[in-house]
Amino acid sequence: MSDAALNRKIDIRNAHLDHLDMLVKLEEQCFVTDRLSRRSLRRFLNSEQVVFLVALKDGICIGYLLIIFHRGTSLARLYSIAIDEQYRRKGIGKALMLEGESRAQLKGALYIRLEVNQTNLSAIEFYHQFDYKEFGLLPDYYDDHTDAWRMQKRIRQYRQGIVKTPLPWCQQSTPFTCGPAALMMAMAGLKKNYQANLTEELQLWREATTIFMTSGHGGCHPLGLALSAARRGFSAEVWISQSGALFIDGVRSEEKKSVIQHVHADFLYQATKENIEIYYQNIEQQRLADACDQGAVPIVLISTYRMDRKKAPHWVAVTGYDEHCFYVHDPDPDEKHQDLVDCQYLPIARADFEKMSSFGSSRLRTAVILSSIE
């Protein structure tokens, strides 16, 4: 049977639980290591954050493709693709890829990323045919200790913004030090000899903390972060959409509120002494873009609700932009991300970014823009 005739007999459709046994069998046939378990396959079949397609011939699953999405971003990940050995090189993989990319576009994805074994030359060539490009290497990535290429494709065509100040990525070491981690990324990008480490991260938190939040340890105040940057030889401007004390909306204890208000007043006093520019207004996306163009680095407070359904304040570093997206380094590789590298240059559509960069019932918008002092 010719490939064209075969493809006319192939039915590509959404995977569902009735396909689970066939998917497990196909997984065992196609992969020796790094197999998806029955439990994982079932979880993906029940998830709304995926494109999960099967290729059926006479009702039998001879291939599948799985793309997963990161909530609140425009990034998709080609998680797995498998074709029955006897049906390879007959166009089944191509059909799945084209349909998968089309479905990913409809779900708002701008990029698709994937990992592939560095020794799997046929797979790498296959992805090259679809214009995926290598952009990083992951050492010792697979169970057999082989390395993986990271590959990426932009599935919507537009002019990519220029990243004027490349940033290293830093992972926060505690649940409450996203602010220091974002600040360290910015400072390390602006000053090459700046050393980011755990001691510095905790010191920055001690300098910038609000003491209390709604629960647990306090987060970092934008003025506190700006003061810490200024002490280390950087210029900082602060944008805050309100003039009163921050982060007290959900605090019930009057004693805690009093402490937070006292800390806010002290930060304001210190910032005035240091001549830090403070703008009491919403920061517009154009200002963030202008800052990036000027080689400065904005760090922005977002709400993680659109990522993980948790209404938590979270600091990220803006690494670049284009007409569709802002790109951020997220210091917190938790359940929002399947892989550490997915926290880097994470594309967030402008409309989503506008919603995410507003926190709490007061709709707080705040950012710190760092630049080097010439």
In the predicted model, residues of the chain with pLDDT beneath 50 are 158-159, 336-338
DSSP string, 297-349: EEEEEEETHHHHS---EEEEEEEEE-SSEEEEE-S--STT-SSGGGGSSEEEE
Do 146 and 265 lie in one domain? The reply is no
- What integer pLDDT is reported at residue 344 of this predicted model? 83
For the chain, helix, strand, coil in percent to 5 are 35, 25, 40
Do 251 and 349 lie in one domain? The reply is yes
Do 328 and 212 lie in one domain? The reply is yes
**Domain harbouring 339, CATH code:** 3.90.70.10
Do 49 and 184 lie in one domain? The reply is no
- What integer pLDDT is reported at residue 336 of this predicted model? 47
Do 231 and 142 lie in one domain? The reply is no
H or E segment at 25?
A: helix 20-30
- What integer pLDDT is reported at residue 1 of this predicted model? 59
Please report whether residue 160 resides in a domain: no
100 C-beta neighbours (distance < 10 Å), count: 22
Q: How many helices (H) and strands (E) does the chain have?
A: 12, 14
Do 109 and 228 lie in one domain? The reply is no
Do 213 and 147 lie in one domain? The reply is no
Q: List CB contacts of 130: < 8 A, sequence separation 6 or more.
A: 97, 101, 153
Q: How many domains does the chain have?
A: 2
* Both tokens assigned to 15: 């995977």
**Domain harbouring 33, CATH code:** 3.40.630.30
Do 109 and 189 lie in one domain? The reply is no
pTM over 0.85: no
The parent domain of residue 319 ranges over 178-372
Do 187 and 127 lie in one domain? The reply is no
